[in-house]
């Protein structure tokens, strides 16, 4: 029954060092190239603020100290045989070598949370608000770059116009400690969507494992600096140790602009049927996704009292858009799957200028019927 997420089947791929003039031209004018140059520049501009070194033992000590201080330390740990980002009881619980089954978004956007409670007495109703100031100070540790990068992407939707304090207050109170990724399989495609196993996007403090043990530490925000400064004794000056070999996902970069251009013009297209007829309409892909953020709001309780809750929802469910009248604008599975792809690679870009996918590959590994979003987007980019 064991499900493993090892790196079996990983084929290392070395990028050809020599390009033909045609290839060079293609690369040069593609959005991917431009954006990667821009991102290199922006990293160079912003850069890290502080560089340190920490041993594995001191990292554990740090986590235990944070827990002792009353902070919520969320990191990959085993829950009944399944790796998940969950609050640690002690540093011994952390598992560093496995990608958690669900993404890190739940530290900010839990599966389910109360958003108010009600009590009824005769004709009177009393509402009780949730006090977001009670959300605990949190350190989210061991976050893979694909998970960390999704958090600033989600900032856009939860903070535009109306501000979702449930997400934003947790965001404010959480320090994200990213971890460079050393293991990839052929479902990984972070490099295809403009990220990489060493991408620091979203991280306040970023750890890179070094040969000979320990981690290189780089900070990218005040929060990251504060974390180091408040436990300065556990960190030392950077040494010259080499970075361990990082993961090398084999998927080539998508031309996201080209993908979007095709999506702009092909809401109606026979391809949707061939892509999504096999989709069985569950929510697995959305629930394990670091960027999917659709939710439901429901009341649960009795006539007299109960809670209003916000919980994860998925556009793959027929019920998601079903009107009480019986009408359903997305009445067939391919229409629902189309919305998934459109939301990730077009709508979110239209609205917020970002792609709603970080290439973690979870939906590919866990789709019951083997739907492969990387293969689909690659196919679209070739159309």
Give the footprint of another protein on residues 82-101 (CB under 8 A). Answer: 82, 84, 101
Please, which residue, 46 or 319, has the CB nearer to another protein? 319
Least CB distance from residue 9 to another protein, whole Å? 4
Please, which residue, 86 or 199, has the CB nearer to another protein? 86
List 243's β-bridge partners, or say none.
210
3 state SS of 216: strand
Element (H, E) at 138: strand 138-143
Assess 320 for contact with another protein (CB under 8 A).
Answer: yes
Assess 370 for contact with another protein (CB under 8 A).
Answer: yes
Among 31, 105, 173, 330, binds another protein (CB under 8 A): 330
- Please work out the total of residues on this chain that contact another protein, with binding judged by CB under 8 A: 111
| Tally of CB atoms within 10 A around 352 | 15
List 140's β-bridge partners, or say none.
74, 176
Least CB distance from residue 206 to another protein, whole Å? 27
Assess 9 for contact with another protein (CB under 8 A).
Answer: yes
Stretch that binds another protein, among 7-15, 49-57, 171-179, 205-213 (CB under 8 A): 7-15
- Contact criterion met (CB below 8 Å) for 185 and 9: yes
3 state SS of 142: strand
Phi, psi (rounded to 5 degrees) for 199: -70, 135
Please name the residues in contact with 92: beta carbons below 8 A apart, sequence gap of 6 or more. Answer: 60
User: How much helix, strand and coil, in percent to the nearest 5, is found in the chain?
Assistant: 40, 20, 40
Assess 371 for contact with another protein (CB under 8 A).
Answer: yes
Least CB distance from residue 355 to another protein, whole Å? 14
Rounded Cα distance between 214 and 220, Å, is 19
Assess 50 for contact with another protein (CB under 8 A).
Answer: no
Assess 160 for contact with another protein (CB under 8 A).
Answer: yes
DSSP letter at 100 equals -
List the interface residues with another protein, window 162-181 (CB under 8 A).
162-166
- Contact criterion met (CB below 8 Å) for 93 and 279: no
Element (H, E) at 129: strand 124-129
Please, which residue, 182 or 203, has the CB nearer to another protein? 182
Among 59, 177, 187, 207, binds another protein (CB under 8 A): 187
List the interface residues with another protein, window 196-255 (CB under 8 A).
none
3 state SS of 74: strand
Assess 77 for contact with another protein (CB under 8 A).
Answer: no
Assess 111 for contact with another protein (CB under 8 A).
Answer: yes
List the interface residues with another protein, window 276-315 (CB under 8 A).
276-278, 280-284, 286-288, 293-303, 306, 308-315
Please, which residue, 198 or 305, has the CB nearer to another protein? 305
List 208's β-bridge partners, or say none.
216
């Amino acid at each position: 029954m064991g499900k493993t997420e090892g790196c079996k089947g990983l084929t290392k791929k070395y990028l050809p060092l020599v390009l033909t003039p045609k290839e060079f031209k293609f690369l040069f004018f593609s959005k991917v190239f431009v954006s990667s140059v821009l991102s290199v520049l922006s990293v160079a501009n912003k850069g890290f603020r502080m560089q340190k070194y920490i041993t594995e033992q001191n990292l554990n000590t740090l986590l235990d100290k944070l827990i002792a201080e009353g902070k919520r330390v969320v990191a990959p740990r085993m829950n009944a045989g399944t790796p998940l980002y969950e609050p640690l009881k002690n540093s011994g619980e952390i598992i560093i070598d496995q990608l958690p089954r669900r993404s890190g978004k739940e530290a900010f956007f839990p599966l389910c949370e109360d958003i108010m409670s009600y009590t009824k007495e005769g004709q009177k109703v009393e509402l009780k608000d949730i006090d977001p100031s009670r959300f605990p100070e949190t350190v989210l540790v061991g976050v893979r770059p694909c998970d960390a990068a999704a958090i600033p992407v989600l900032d856009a939707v939860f903070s535009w116009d109306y501000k979702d304090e449930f997400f934003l207050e947790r965001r404010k109170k959480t320090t994200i400690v990213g971890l460079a990724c050393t293991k990839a399989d052929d479902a990984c495609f972070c490099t295809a969507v403009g990220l990489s196993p060493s991408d620091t996007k979203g991280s306040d403090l970023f750890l890179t494992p070094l040969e000979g043990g320990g981690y290189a530490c780089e900070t990218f925000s005040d929060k990251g600096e504060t974390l180091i400064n408040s436990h300065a004794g556990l960190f030392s000056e950077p040494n010259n140790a080499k970075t361990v070999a990082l993961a090398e996902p084999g998927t080539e970069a998508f031309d996201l602009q080209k993908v979007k251009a095709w999506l702009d013009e092909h809401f109606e297209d026979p391809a949707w049927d061939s892509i999504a007829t096999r989709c069985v309409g569950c929510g697995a892909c959305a629930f394990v996704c670091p960027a999917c953020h659709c939710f439901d709001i429901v009341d649960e309780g009795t006539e007299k009292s109960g809670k209003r809750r916000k919980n994860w929802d998925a556009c793959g469910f027929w019920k998601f858009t079903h009107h009480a009248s019986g009408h359903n604008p997305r009445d067939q599975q391919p229409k629902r799957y189309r919305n998934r792809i459109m939301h990730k690679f077009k709508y979110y870009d239209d609205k917020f200028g970002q792609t709603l996918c970080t290439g973690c590959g979870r939906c590919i590994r866990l789709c019951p019927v083997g739907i492969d979003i990387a293969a689909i987007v690659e196919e679209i980019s070739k159309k």
